[in-house]
Amino acid sequence: MDASRSFTVTTPRITFGPGSLGLVGDIARRLGMRRPLLVTDPHLAALPPVATVRRALEEAGLVVTLFDGVEVEPTDRSFEAAIRFAADGGFDGFVSVGGGSAMDTAKVADLYSSWPDSFLAYVNAPIGEGRNVPGPLKPHIACPTTCGTGSECTGIAVFDLLAMKAKTGIMSHRLVPHHAVVDPEVTASLPRTALACTALDTVCHALEAWTCRPVGERDLPPEPDLRPMTQGANPWSDLLALEPMRLVAGNLEAALADPPDMAARGRLLWAATLAGASFGNAGCHVPHALSYPVSGMVRDYRPPDYPPGPPLVPHGMAVILNAPPVYRLMGADAGPRLLAAAEALGADVRGVPEAGAGDLLADRLVALMRAAGVPNGLEAIGFSPVDVAALTEGALPQRRLLDNAPVEIDAGVLDGLYRAAMRYW
């Protein structure tokens, strides 16, 4: 029997709704936690979501230790600091509060304190050894505070390996949090740019899961524990892909308005959760691969209304700025899927031939970028055509993502995509 077209669905339990952060104590106790490590970043440590979670854990009788050393855009250095802290403390569970950085740091601290090994052992090959996680981890409750990463639903942890200046990650179904607690009230304090970038990251997650290579078209092992979670598009990931696009397109402007529509912000958070469950079971592709060198090679760009800090291209911004040319390129072969996506994002698809689907979708993405107020292409954040060779060299090692694309991607294609992403309007 040929099982190469089988697929496996992995999700956490999900609790969604206003006030749900107050339930974390009870959830943690029932998961068997007595001495959890609360993982967050130094900025969030002083904000209400962390205080709410800490209070809930303490009221449930748990002894809480705080680790607030998470770095935005984590590195092997910041991961290793969290691993040491977790290994020394003898914790019996993890509760993360924050964006993808905090949740990913908790996943990795959980992994290496449960199954100690050299740091590169579980890191994706060829950069790391790509070894399988030997068994279950300690329970992890993930509480997202942004609307984009979807990390609460995935078994993926992404970081910069400083020595190689490369973005890579660790992937295993064992890393999927045991329980995602998603409380729309956390979006009240999200600054406008962060909200816009994470919502556009959600769109990209859903679009890439919807348009990646279908399951069974790559030479992957059929055994669920050996097959990467980024197994390709499948009926489950398809089911969860179009709705997040509809939700973001229909709610982004109201969520960004002043004063914001809080119900609209809640719908963006739900969209992020759905998209996380979609790409967490399918994988992303080219826009994410193109984004990593853009974030890594930032010179002096600082996004408006972010906390003071070093130059930074937010992840969602780096991804969406690279997305439109990818869909123009795919247009000819993926017509029906691209038309469905364009329609979900609010485009009028009546009378549009399949051959025009890629352009229609790309134009719709650019319209969303303008509505969200993100910069006009890579030039607007400090890049120029002179940088294209270095950007291409940086994206080429992202084989896990590039191989998940429905079209062949080589250096020449990457070069053309970066040039097309310089300026949009």
Q: Which of these, 107, 102, 231, 249, lies nearest to 178 by C-alpha position?
A: 107
Q: Which is nearer to Fe ion, 40 or 154 (CB)?
A: 154
Q: Give min distance, CB of 324 to Fe ion, in A.
A: 16
List the alpha helices (DSSP H) in 214-261. Answer: 235-239, 242-256
Site string for Fe ion, 16-45 (x = CB under 5 A): ------------------------------
We find the least distance from the C-beta atom of residue 100 to Fe ion, in angstroms, to be 8
- The radius of gyration computed from the CA coordinates of the chain, to the nearest angstrom, equals 20
Query: How many other CB atoms are there within 10 angstroms of residue 260's CB atom?
Result: 16
Stretch that binds Fe ion, among 175-183, 195-203, 306-314, 379-387 (CB under 5 A): 195-203
Q: Which is nearer to Fe ion, 167 or 364 (CB)?
A: 167
Residue type, position 32, single letter:
G
Distance from C-alpha of 273 to C-alpha of 288, rounded to nearest angstrom:
18
Does residue 152 belong to the site contacting Fe ion (CB under 5 A)?
Answer: no
Distance between CA atoms of residues 112 and 156, nearest Å: 14
| Cα–Cα distance for residue pair 361/243, rounded to 1 Å | 16
Please report which helix (H) or strand (E) contains residue 271, including its range.
Answer: helix 262-279
Q: Is 71 or 201 the residue whose CB approaches Fe ion more closely?
A: 201
Residue (216 or 276) nearer to Fe ion, CB:
276
Indicate the residue among 216 and 316 with the shorter CB distance to Fe ion: 316
How near is the Cβ of 121 to Fe ion at its closest, in Å?
A: 25
28-36, 71-79, 198-206, 380-388 -> range binding Fe ion (CB under 5 A) = 198-206
Tokens encoding 153: 């639903």
Site string for Fe ion, 80-99 (x = CB under 5 A): --------------------
Find the shortest distance in angstroms from Cβ 134 to Fe ion: 28
Phi-psi region at 70: left, alpha or beta (left = phi > 0; alpha = psi -120 to 50): beta
Rounded to the nearest 5°, which phi and psi values hold at 382? Answer: 100, 5
Residue 156 C-beta: closest distance to Fe ion, Å: 10
Comparing CB distances to Fe ion, the nearer of 201 and 343 is 201
Closest-CB residue for Fe ion? Answer: 201
Stretch that binds Fe ion, among 27-35, 199-207, 208-216, 340-348 (CB under 5 A): 199-207
- What's the closest the beta carbon of residue 202 comes to Fe ion, in angstroms? 8
Cα 93 to Cα 122: distance, rounded to the nearest angstrom: 20
b/e code 347-380 from CB counts within 10 Å (16+ = b): bebeebeeebbbbbbbbbbbbbbeebebbebbbe
Crossing angle for the helix pair 76-89 and 100-114, to the nearest 10 degrees: 50
Q: Which is nearer to Fe ion, 110 or 201 (CB)?
A: 201
Please give the size of the binding site for Fe ion, defined by CB under 5 A: 1
**Nearer residue to Fe ion within complex by CB, 319 or 420:** 319
Least separation in angstroms between residue 363's CB and Fe ion is 22
Helix (H) or strand (E) holding 141: strand 140-144
In angstroms, give the least distance from the CB of 282 to Fe ion: 13
Q: Looking at beta carbons only, is 81 or 194 nearer to Fe ion?
A: 194
- Would you give the binding string for Fe ion spanning residues 154-193, x where CB under 5 A is met? ----------------------------------------
DSSP 123: B
Residue written as token pair 């990931």: 237
CB of 28 to Fe ion, least distance (A): 27
The token duo for 226 is 């050996």
Q: Tell which one of 183, 201, 343, 403 touches Fe ion (CB under 5 A).
A: 201
DSSP-based three-state secondary structure for 96? strand
Distance in angstroms (rounded) separating the CA atoms of residues 387 and 419: 9
Least Å distance between CB 290 and Fe ion?
12
The contact set with Fe ion (CB under 5 A) reads 201
